[in-house]
Homo-oligomer: A and B are copies of this chain.
Amino acid sequence: MLKMDAGALTAFLARDFPQVCDDFLVERADEDGLTIRLRVDERHLRPGGTVSGPSMFGLADVAVYLAILSRIGPVALAVTTNCSIDFMRKPAAATDLICDVRLLKLGRVLAVGDCLIRSDGVEAPVARASLTYSIPAT
């Protein structure tokens, strides 16, 4: 049922999103969902050394997008219509973030996924997010 595995998703990112593809590493892609790593770099940080809100939003956004593509293939141009995100703890300083995604719905028109984001090596999540994508008619 998986149309794109971790390797295919990585190749897709490199080709279609060259400006951000170095930020993200697809660590797992299977029927339960995906794991994506944000390779934290200077440009993701706020003063104080923790990852910024927009960087965490971007991670969740890419992660759900890739979870959808893993099922439908690199075909349609899905767009984010809604995101709700809770910032629960301060990320560890200068540490990669690990984002686990579950694809909860993949309909004809809408897809919904949710994410838990952790600092690499830390159990307690720093953020959770849920996103809705609209899938254009083909």
Task: State the A residues within 8 Å of B (CB).
Answer: 16-17, 47, 52-55, 57-58, 61, 79-89, 104-105, 107, 109-110, 112, 114, 116, 124-125, 128, 130, 132, 134
Contact = CB atoms under 8 A, between A and B. Distances in A.
Given A47-B16, A53-B58, A128-B104, A86 B112 contact: yes
A79 B51 CA distance: 13
Nearest to A109: B109
B134 A110 contact: yes
Contacts of A116: 104
Main secondary structure of the interface of A (DSSP, over half): strand
A53 B80 contact: yes
Contact of A88 (B47, B83, B84, B112): B112
Which 7 interchain pairs have the tightest Cβ spacing?
A84-B84, A54-B58, A88-B105, A54-B54, A57-B57, A82-B86, A86-B112
Counting every copy of the chain, the complex holds 4
A11 to B, nearest CB: 16
A110 B58 CA distance: 23
Contact of A83 (B52, B84, B114, B134): B84
A112 B132 CA distance: 13
B82 A105 contact: no
